[in-house]
Amino acid sequence: MSSPDLHAPPTCASSSQLPAPSVTASDSVDTCPAVSSFHVQKGISQKVRELLLSFGREQFVVSECFASLEEAFDSGPGILDLFAGSRGFSRGCVRAAQTWTLTFDISHSSSEDLLDPSLQERIWTLLRLGAFAGWTSVRQL
């Protein structure tokens, strides 16, 4: 088995190329009494979306596969990059994978001060709600 080429650009799949959920006529609500209707949630929840959009657009780094930040959110959870500096890690992530990152570093703006308790609470809320598939924190002393 050969190793994947980590320097190759990500392959971008449009939502029309993704497999559809498999539901057949024989599937019924009776097989799962707790289900009264069938609804597929794309990406992240509306609440997470609203919280994320409360941050400045300049704090996001998004794969070129996506036409917009909202389309990136449709792909699912992203990556949280704390003490992001020049955002090099985030740029590497979005080059290597179809993803998005939310970055924080006080050198970008005072609104990104991770010592601010209200900002800490917003970030913890996003973590608890599953906004991120992973996170990184590299603080240079």
What was the pLDDT predicted at 11? 54
Rounded-to-integer distance, Cα 74 and Cα 96, Å:
18
**Would you call 112 helix, strand, or coil by DSSP?**
helix
**Distant-in-sequence, close-in-space partners of 57: CB < 8 Å, separation ≥ 6:** 69
Task: Give pLDDT, residue 51.
Answer: 97
Q: Per-residue pLDDT for 128 more than 50?
A: yes
Q: pLDDT confidence of 8, banded at 50, 70, 90?
A: low
pTM: predicted TM-score of the whole model, two decimal places = 0.71
Cα R_g (the chain), whole angstroms: 18
Reported as a single tens digit per residue, the pLDDT across 36-87 is 344 445 789 999 999 999 999 999 999 999 999 999 999 999 999 999 999 9
Tokens 């800490």 map to which residue?
120
Q: Characterize the bridge pairing of strands 100-104 and 132-137.
A: unpaired
Is the pLDDT at 122 greater than 60? The verdict is yes
For range 95-110, the mean pLDDT: 95
Matching residue, tokens 């703006």: 109
Q: What is the pLDDT of residue 110?
A: 95
